[in-house]
Amino acid sequence: MLTLEKFEEASEIVKKVINPTKLIYSDYFSNQTGAKVYLKPENMQFTGAYKLRGAYYKISTMSEEARAKGLITASAGNHAQGVAYAAKAYGCHATIVMPTTTPLIKVNRTKGYGAEVILYGDVYDDACEYAYKLAEEKEYTFVHPFDDLDVATGQGTIAMEIVQELPTVDYILAPIGGGGLITGISTLAKMLNPKIKVIGVEPAGAASMTAALEKGEVVQLDSANTIADGTAVKAVGYQNLPYVQENVDQIILIDDTELIGAFLDMVENHKMVVENSGLLSVAALKHLDCKGKKVVSVLSGGNMDVITMSSIVQMGLMQRDRIFSVSVLLPDKPGELARVADVIAEVKGNIIELEHNQFVTTNRSAAVELRITMEAFGTEHKNEILKVLEDNHFRPKLINRDESRHV
């Protein structure tokens, strides 16, 4: 059972290793929603995510004998770092099984804390199955990333801090993967103040908790397809489900495309890197009627590799029409390229790439294709650029994202 006494104990214990993550008031998201929105920046933890809380508290409850035999877990990355960090603090060996798709930064950081890393399987569930096999063979103690009430208790210390800092909070939004975080937060929040609304947020491509709630039991999804890799779980924890059924007021599903926009919003308005799973609670704000309320969005982690970051930024800029590509046909003669550039410059378009194709037709004197990729301030500015190109008889044709190599 999750009890207030255990939550209080966990809150004191995790203080030894966590970085205090004070709430950040967001002018941007408050203006967007009409609410008073605060961010709980767990992406600023030493290990880059909240998972350190549950891992450290879980290991604190184990016997010396169990620690001496060694620990093992499976994780997409954040729990891995939490266990590795906690195991090092307690002086015990940790083996971490991670999916082969885990971002490199998470793999390297886990190794950096002294853990042995094994890459296995495409998603968390494959890695978990292999980790259980190794635990049995080598008599390691398995530290589950979410289906463990001690782990959930450690994660719930986030709610303790939120309520202590903002006693009049109305809504707490938190991501859902396997359910450990939302179990801890929702259970403690309701203990402290039953009026607090706790909203869970899942990626639409891995909505395992939604499926479980609809059926009334844990459901194994066929796939967990989402860019929110930290919440790409096919089945939620059996121990978590009853607590979610009792304490979570609503679950919101978020498409991957919304996470791309949320990443841009966070970088540009708060100068913070938050991984896709951690952005679920931010992307959900526009789906929630919370005007006049005090809302806390939990940013669960910030472990994202630079290549993924670059791709997300580029896709986000295209999504918001701040980068776009057009094709125009020009006579193959001197000065035409300069003429196009001048027209675009007149309306403050910024060309970032040109691709000249002389073989679009056999009659080169009639036309050659010029593909232009440029920056704009947004949709209105993009339409202004297209209009001036049309007015100057360039007949621009938009190149959609699937055709563009910039996606």
State residue 317's pLDDT score.
Answer: 92
Beta strands in 255-303 (DSSP E): 294-299
Look at residues 82, 112, 142 and tell me which one is the last residue of a structural domain: 142
Give the number of other CB atoms < 10 A from CB of residue 230.
30
- Asked whether residue 110 falls in the same domain as residue 245, the answer is no
Look at residues 270, 291, 315 and tell me which one is the last residue of a structural domain: 315
- Asked whether residue 24 falls in the same domain as residue 115, the answer is no
The count of domains in the chain is 3
Residue 35 within a domain: yes
CB 272 within 8 A of CB 300: no
CA 320 to chain centre: 19
Residue 153 within a domain: yes
DSSP label at residue 301? B
- Asked whether residue 61 falls in the same domain as residue 40, the answer is no
CATH code at position 39: 3.40.50.1100
- The b-or-e profile of 266-294 (16+ CB within 10 A means b, else e) is bbeebeebbbbbbbbbbbbbeebebeebb
- Asked whether residue 246 falls in the same domain as residue 130, the answer is no
State residue 359's pLDDT score.
Answer: 63
State residue 404's pLDDT score.
Answer: 47
Low-confidence ranges of the chain (pLDDT < 50): 404-407
CB 331 within 8 A of CB 310: no
Residue 385, domain extent: 321-399
- Asked whether residue 308 falls in the same domain as residue 208, the answer is yes
Average pLDDT, the chain: 92
Please give the Cα distance from 127 to 99 (Å, whole number): 6
Q: What tokens were used for 69?
A: 């035999």
